[in-house]
Structure 1
Amino acid sequence: MARTTPHDHPHEAGTPLYRRIARELLDELRGGAIPPGERLPGERQLAEHFGVSRETVRQALRMLRRDGLVATDRRGSHAALPGPPSRTPASPGFPVGARSAVRCAADRATVAWETPPPGHAEALGAAPARPTLVHRYWSVSADGRELRTAVTSFSAVALAEVGELARYRDRADGAAAAELRRAYDWMRRAGLTLHHRDTITRIAGTPSVRVTRRVHDQFARPLEITELLVDAQQDALVYEFTVPAAV
């Protein structure tokens, strides 16, 4: 959702603020920012997004709900615009590059509550020495020719918004196995729209490649940073993914 403010429509100065916010939110929903059936961000997040009070957001949602454009249940408010039900898109696997193209690869993952690696804190907008949830992944192909290691640091926003991630803090001892393959699904279920930015760098003089993934939400808040190192004793790296067909 692109950030807007009530001042974007100066010609509507006589319109009640909550009506203008309802219209702006409706414009974003019609623009596809949140598909029909998807959960809307919470009132606090919407208030920050539009630069208004939570009460104004509450009134705007009440107006959209009365018009049948927003539905609310115990899980929160959802877009209810006319149209076919949205299909849940396939989320990419976590961490980036975790599934080797080579079959029969062995892998292991752990989590720890610790100071993130150098550069991660800055990417997450956190103090350098502040601990967070750090995920480590290790994978080797059956023939031993390809080794993948990944380190992920999660932001305070991700831990506050995604309950499944937050619950790992008490058992993040750095030794026990951790299953976070559905991390991106958890984030989406929490109402976060995920924006991925992957940077691929060839490490000179070696057969290794570094992939750096940064993920932020619809409010440009950082959620996680992952650094994947692939040591592949071959000329080509293969990344395989599936894009669902349009309905």
Structure 2
Amino acid sequence: MARTTHRPHVATQPLYWRVATRLLDELRDGTIPPGERLPAERQLAEHFGVSRETVRQALDVLRRGGLVATDRRGSHASLPGLPVETPASMTFPLGLRGTGPGAADRATVTWETPPAEHAEALGLDPDRRTLVHRYESAGADGLDRRTAVTSFSAVALTEVAELARYRERADGTGTAQLLRAYDWMRRAGLTLHHRDAITRLPGAPSVRVTRRVHDQYARPLEVTDLVVDAQQDALVYEFTLPAA
């Protein structure tokens, strides 16, 4: 006699199985794009209102089903499909460009006191340290140079886990490409309002672009100063990127 296997009713499923189902729904709807690192167990436990042990059991269920992969960097969504595309306007840092053969392109992070103007804009005490990102780029001939300095606010480091993790390695030596910084902010539920001011530097064939980003609560997130070899009149433009 053939046996029929019935899926247990939700009410009778173990808690970890129900958590695995909810997490799978979030993976499928793109809340966590394919290939992206999953939040830490502690964050998942808080998100679902369960213990970390329950989260571990739920992740094991998804791992056995090939829906989550774990390596030394953590657990990642492994559902088939393409990651969420990042519009060009989301590129970080301001001024980033593709470099051709022989071009120089370097990005690092440090934990230090930011420039005074940045500290004021971010609402930081003058002597308070924060995450500072530096980007340098030049053509193969050494010309067309551009440099960018970005300081992040306490709000950004509190709300965006991916940024906060960089504090432990912010010694200015290793490469730190935060290409998806804005995408991380959006996935943390932040609506990004950018204000870019472009001004010509007196006595120099360069312009300075100052970007200030705040969220939907008018809280500052980051300030960037970019200097590029170019000549143009002052221009200010604003745009808003909704939360993911």
TM-score (norm 2): 0.58
1:122 and 2:114 equivalent?
no
Aligned to 1:203: 201
Alignment of 1:1-247 (within 5 A): 74=47, 91-99=89-97, 105-232=103-230
Where does the alignment leave 5 or more consecutive residues of structure 2 unmatched?
A: 1-28, 32-46, 50-83, 234-244
Whole-angstrom CA distance in 2 between matches of 1:122 and 1:181: 25
Question: Are residues 119 and 104 of structure 1, via their aligned partners in 2, closer, same or farther at CA, if it must alter by over 3 Å?
Answer: same
In 2: Cα distance, 1:161 partner to 1:191 partner: 9
Separation (CA, whole Å) in 2 of partners of 1:89 and 1:205: 35
Given the superposition, is the C-alpha separation of residues 141 and 88 from structure 1 closer, same or farther in structure 2, using an over 3 Å criterion? closer
Q: What is the RMSD of the two structures over their aligned residues, measured on CA atoms?
A: 2.9
Could you say if the C-alpha distance between residues 219 and 38 of structure 1 is closer, same or farther in structure 2, counting changes exceeding 3 Å? farther
In the alignment, is the contact (CA less than 8 A) between 1:91 and 1:185 conserved in 2? no
In 2, are the aligned partners of 1:154 and 1:223 still within 8 Å (CA)? yes
Rounded Cα–Cα distance in structure 2 between residues aligned with 1:152 and 1:75: 34
Percent identity between matched residues is 70
**Equivalent-residue separation in structure 2 for 1:211 and 1:98 (angstroms):** 13
Aligned partners of 2:122 and 2:196: how far apart in 1? 15
Residue type of the partner of 1:112? Answer: T
Taking a change above 3 Å as real, the CA distance of residues 38 and 157 of structure 1, as seen in their structure-2 partners, is farther
- What is the one-letter code of the residue matched to 1:203? L
Aligned to 1:30: none
Secondary structure of the residue aligned to 2:133 is strand
Cα gap change, 1:212 to 1:100, in 2 (>3 Å)? farther
Higher Cα radius of gyration: 2
Query: TM-score if structure 1 supplies the norm length?
Result: 0.57
Corresponding residue for residue 66 of structure 1: none
| Per-residue deviation, 1:183 | 0.4
How big is the shift at 1:92? Answer: 2.0
Q: CA deviation at 1:91?
A: 4.6
SS in 2 for 1:137: strand
8 Å contact from structure 1 (residues 152, 225) kept in 2: yes
